[in-house]
Every structure is written in structure tokens, then in C-alpha cells.
């Protein structure tokens, strides 16, 4: 069985995109891991599958490179949305994921904006293992402590640090991802505030490891920074892949994320 695919990225956060709208496609965890292998397969941070949706323009399903299913992926949503926006010639579409319904818009400069919805801030929503203040969670590792947690469709813990470059994130990321306080594991963000409207962010992603950008992680970082009074409602988030994701939290709580998308190449998978 041969299936066309498209390799895309948002500021280096890379995806293999499969179109299963006409012909349903269900891949087991072994197949997902094989496609995600950067030496033997294609390689990706997340696998993005487009599916038909009766109550939206598109249903998107996400899988991490370890085979696990993810509830949300901001940059993957923007990449998928860009394809449907282009093929329909529209400037707005509605998208459904297992984490809920989203909206995507094509902006005049060619970038794609996704409404990621409001963050969920309760300890059960993240979820955390027990009741506690989600703005000050006692997660810690060498060089970091006192995380702020929220859910953007998936669990996020963000640490605010003085110097990102001083952290050994590959060494501390796995332990924090699998900390007992995060029963469903977590996406671990490390943010350095540069001004009221700018921050740097590196994310150790649940099921994917260190990535060049993380859209939902950028949303979570800005939400948590706002809760601590560190940034304004609109903030540019500089990621290791180069460039910025622009995050804006509206008065109704919804978090908007915009940025560029690109296609690297297309090909065919022999399943």
C-alpha cells in the first residue's frame, strides 16, 4: 500500500502529513515509529493525519515519534490548515481534534493563525497527580524549579529561567517529562523573558524530545507568563528553529498563535 505524504515544518517543528479524508488510514504504533525514524523512515516531531469531519472542515489526528497519540499540536495544526486553506481558496476554516474544535485563518502576509482556545488551568485539567496551585508546581531539576502548569489540549509545565543557554535540557528534560506529578507525562518548557513582549523558549516535548519549536508550548509559556505578570497579552516567542511565533491572548481567554509554515518535500510511503 503506497500512500503520498508531505513533509512540512513550522519554524523547524517538522511533520509528516498524510491525507486520509477520502480513504481512511489507521496506523499502529510500530508503523508510526518507523515513519518517524530519522534514519530508516522519513522522520518527524509529529505525524499529522487529515481526516473527514461531519461538523467541521477537517479533523486532524496527531501522533508523536514514539507512537503515542497527542491531543494537540499547534504548529502541526497550522501546517494542516495551510493545505486546506490553499485548496479551498478560503481564508477561514474550522478544525476538530480530539482536544476540541479550533479555528484557523490565513493572514494577509501568508502566515497562518490558529485559535487554540482558552487554556485549562485547574490541577485536574493539566492533569496533575494531586491538588495544588498550578501557577507554582514543585517540579524541579538541576538549574530549574517552580513550574507553572496548564493544558493547551495537552499538559504543559513551564519554567522561567535567567539564562536558557546555561541549562542542559537534554539531560533534565526526560526526568521532568516523566515526573510523578505529571501522570500523563508533560511537555516541559524553558522560557527566558526578554521584555514585556518577547521571550525565548525551548521545549522538551512529551513523546518527541527536544524540538526546534512547539506551538502549544509557546501558547502555554505566554499564558503562564501572563499569570505571573511577566508579559503582555501579545508576545513574540523566539524558538530554536529560527524566527518567532506570535502569541496573543484575547480578553475572552482564547489563545491565538500565528507564524509561517513551509513544505520541505513530498513523497510516497510504501506501507
* Annotation says 149 is catalytic: no
Rounded CA-CA distance 233/223 in Å is: 9
Confidence category of residue 111, pLDDT binned at 50, 70, 90: very high
Residue 155: which pLDDT band, with cuts at 50, 70 and 90?
Answer: very high
- Can you say whether the dihedral through the CA atoms of 265, 266, 270, 271 is positive or negative? positive
Give the percent of the chain with pLDDT over 70.
Answer: 100
Whether the Cβ atoms of residue 260 and residue 79 lie closer than 8 Å to each other? no
Q: Supply the pLDDT for residue 107.
A: 97
User: pLDDT above 90 covers what percent of the chain?
Assistant: 96
Cα 225 → chain centroid: 17
- Confidence label for 71 from pLDDT (cuts 50, 70 and 90): confident
129 pLDDT band, cuts 50/70/90, is very high
Give the pLDDT of residue 1. 78
Q: Which tens digit of pLDDT belongs to each residue from 88-100?
A: 999 999 999 998 8
Instruction: Name the catalytic one among 73, 149, 150, 219.
Output: 73
Asked if the model's pLDDT at residue 62 lies above 90, the reply is yes
| Residue reference for cell 526526568 | 175
pLDDT-derived band at 165 (thresholds 50, 70, 90) equals very high
What is the model's pLDDT at position 238?
Answer: 98
Active-site residue (options: 79, 149, 150, 214):
214
Average pLDDT for 80-90: 97
- What's the pLDDT score for residue 270? 87
- What contacts 137, CB < 8 A, 6 or more positions away? 128, 146, 147, 148, 149, 157, 181
Per-position DSSP letters for 184-226, written without gaps between them: T--EEEEEEEEETTEEEEEEEETTTEEES--HHHHHHHHHHHH
pLDDT digits (tens, 9 = 90+) for 131-140: 999 999 999 9
Q: Among all chains, which residue has been given the C-alpha cell 502529513?
A: 17
pLDDT in tens, 2-54: 999 999 999 999 999 999 999 999 899 999 999 999 999 999 999 999 999 99
Average pLDDT, the chain: 96
So what's the pLDDT on residue 77? 97
Nearest-CA neighbor of 269 among 40, 64, 95?
40
List the end-to-end C-alpha distance of the chain, in Å, as a whole number: 5
pLDDT at 154 over 90: yes
Maximum separation of any 2 CA atoms in the chain, in Å: 53
Write out the binding residues for substrate.
13, 46, 64, 74-75, 154, 187, 205-206, 215-216
pLDDT at 16: 98
**Domains parsed from the chain with CATH numbers:** 2-115+260-270 (3.10.310.10), 137-253 (3.10.310.10)
214 a catalytic residue = yes
Identify the H or E element spanning 88.
Answer: helix 74-88
CA 171, CA 109: separation in Å to the nearest integer? 39
Amino acid at each position: 500500500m503506497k500512500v503520498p505524504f508531505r513533509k512540512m515544518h513550522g519554524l523547524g517543528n517538522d511533520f509528516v502529513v498524510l491525507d486520509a479524508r477520502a480513504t481512511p488510514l489507521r496506523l499502529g504504533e510500530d508503523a508510526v515509529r518507523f515513519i518517524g525514524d530519522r534514519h530508516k523512515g522519513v522522520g518527524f516531531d509529529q505525524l499529522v493525519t487529515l481526516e473527514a469531519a461531519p461538523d467541521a472542515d477537517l479533523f486532524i489526528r496527531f501522533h508523536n515519534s514514539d507512537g503515542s497519540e497527542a491531543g494537540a499540536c499547534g504548529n502541526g495544526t497550522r501546517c494542516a490548515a495551510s493545505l486546506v486553506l490553499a485548496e479551498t481558496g478560503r481564508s477561514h476554516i474550522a478544525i476538530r481534534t480530539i482536544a476540541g474544535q479550533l479555528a484557523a485563518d490565513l493572514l494577509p502576509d501568508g502566515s497562518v493563525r490558529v485559535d487554540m482556545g482558552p487554556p485549562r488551568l485547574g490541577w485536574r485539567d493539566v492533569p496533575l497527580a494531586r491538588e495544588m496551585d498550578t501557577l507554582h508546581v514543585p517540579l524541579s531539576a538541576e538549574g530549574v524549579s517552580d513550574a507553572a502548569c496548564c493544558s493547551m489540549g495537552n499538559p504543559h509545565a513551564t519554567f522561567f529561567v535567567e539564562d536558557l543557554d546555561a541549562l542542559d535540557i537534554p539531560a533534565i528534560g526526560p526526568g521532568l517529562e516523566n515526573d510523578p506529578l505529571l501522570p500523563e507525562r508533560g511537555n516541559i518548557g524553558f522560557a527566558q523573558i526578554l521584555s514585556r513582549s518577547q521571550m525565548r523558549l525551548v521545549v522538551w516535548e512529551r513523546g518527541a524530545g527536544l524540538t526546534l519549536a512547539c506551538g502549544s508550548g509557546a501558547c502555554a509559556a505566554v499564558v503562564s507568563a501572563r499569570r505571573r505578570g511577566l508579559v503582555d497579552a501579545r508576545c513574540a516567542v523566539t524558538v530554536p528553529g529560527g524566527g518567532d511565533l506570535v502569541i496573543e491572548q484575547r480578553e475572552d481567554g482564547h489563545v491565538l498563535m500565528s507564524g509561517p509554515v513551509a513544505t520541505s518535500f513530498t513523497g510516497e510511503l510504501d506501507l
